[in-house]
Amino acid sequence: MSKKKKDLPTDMLIVKSKVKEYVKTLGDYNVSSEFYEVFNHKVAEMIRKAAKRTKHNNRKTVAARDV
């Protein structure tokens, strides 16, 4: 990851059990332990970008169109 430490979330934004459950619906797959951290960082990055777009458009509500 090239992001600064302060930009990374300290808490999990995703629910591991729900991710694992969803992956199981796609086939006979397992989820590696490091997947969750990387996926969590990707989600955080998407949220940061959406918030930035919201601010750029002079709004205070992050909406689906910001993703």
Write out the chain's pLDDT in tens, 67 residues: 455 666 677 789 999 999 999 999 999 999 999 999 999 999 999 999 999 999 999 999 999 999 9
Specify the pTM.
0.80
Residue span of the structural domain in which 54 resides = 32-67
HSE of 38, CA atoms in CB hemisphere, 13 A: 6
Q: What local confidence, expressed as pLDDT, does residue 10 receive?
A: 73
Q: What local confidence, expressed as pLDDT, does residue 44 receive?
A: 94
Separation between Cα atoms, residue 34 and residue 56, nearest integer Å: 33
Residues 6+ positions from 31 with CB-CB distance below 8 Å: 19, 20, 23
Separation between Cα atoms, residue 7 and residue 21, nearest integer Å: 28
Domain count, the chain: 1
In a domain, 9, yes or no: no
Q: What local confidence, expressed as pLDDT, does residue 1 receive?
A: 46
In a domain, 44, yes or no: yes
